[in-house]
Amino acid sequence: MVKTGQAPIRRVRFQPSAANVGAIEVNTLAGIRASGGAQEFLTPQRLDFDLLVQVRHGAAAHAVDFADHSLRAGDVLWVRAGQVQQWGAIDDIEGPVVLFGPHAVDDRTSTLIRSSRVRPQNHWPAADLAGTPVDQTFDLLASSVEPHRPDRDDLRQAALGHFLSALLVQLALVEPGGGTATPAPTHEAFGWFRDQIEESFHTWHKVGEYADRLGYSPRTLNRLARQHTGLTAKELIDERVVLEAKRLLSHSDAPAADIAEQLGFDDASNFSSYFSRQAGMTPGAFRASGRGRQPR
């Protein structure tokens, strides 16, 4: 039970709206509002699936892991599975929505998309998408949903999978605006290190543990981390641990001792000291500052 005023993170699982929907569901913002109900979008959510939204009309704010995004017509938002999101005025925007599970896109395509960015991108402004096939690919996804013929469901899912892969690749190919240089593809070993952090940050906080698991020296992991992010390998590990700590502090009433245990610390005191060094404030101060936070 939440007692101190902050909104809890609600886990949202992939539950297709119809029996003939497979790993990919194509819907609209109006459709998910109607199926979810007014209360569905008021509290922070942690999705077990990926969510793609294209805003065709209107404007609203949307928060993803403590970053606020101002959505306007033509923008695309991609919330990855595991990220914490907070809807803003969802009634004020309209457009297509794609929800898909972890195996909707083939492994090779997924690897290529992940390696195209050092950090996952959540928001593409309309100006950056101008002249790209993104609009048309959203339309292809929508056109592949109908008609519903049980004897053609496998073929329809195959078409959806191909069009979704094409859409995600097109987003990965988008050149960033504002004169920002296009990021170079990530080194394969750095991708493995990044994936291992995501898998093991709850228990492993030392670079040596990752080096032993991946078969590289700590020096090599540090070199790759600096090359791709400007941070050390340890700083990347700390960054992920602190993000999870902030999620738990902002959206739960779990005691510091419980959070410390979840994140692999021996006791609450060690966790508090670690968090204070990394975040510049105590866990209690951060929790107090995050209560009731809504997208601006």
The percentage of the chain sitting over the pLDDT mark of 90, rounded to a whole number, equals: 59
Banded model confidence at residue 255, pLDDT cuts 50, 70, 90: very high
Per DSSP, the three-state class of 28 is strand
- As a whole number, the mean pLDDT across the chain is 86
Banded model confidence at residue 16, pLDDT cuts 50, 70, 90: low
Question: Would you say 87 and 36 are in contact if contact means Cβ atoms under 8 Å apart?
Answer: no
Domain with CATH 2.60.120.280 in the chain: 10-173
* Nearest-angstrom CA–CA distance, 61 and 254: 28
> Which residue matches tokens 């809504």?
294
Q: Which amino acid is at 271?
A: F
Options 3.60.110.10, 2.102.10.10, 1.20.1630.10, 2.60.120.280; CATH for 10-173 is 2.60.120.280
Architecture of the structural domain at 188-290: Orthogonal Bundle (1.10)
HSE toward the beta carbon, residue 104, CA cutoff 13 A: 28
Region label for 82, one of left (φ > 0), alpha (ψ between -120 and 50) or beta (otherwise)? left
| Tokens of residue 226, six digits | 């600096």
* Nearest-angstrom CA–CA distance, 233 and 194: 10
The DSSP bridge partners found for residue 73 are none
Count Cβ neighbours within 10 Å for each residue of 54-64 and write b for 16 or more, e otherwise.
bbbebebbbbb
Domain with CATH 1.10.10.60 in the chain: 188-290
Backbone torsions φ then ψ of 132, nearest 5 degrees: -100, 165
The reported pLDDT for the residue numbered 40 is 86
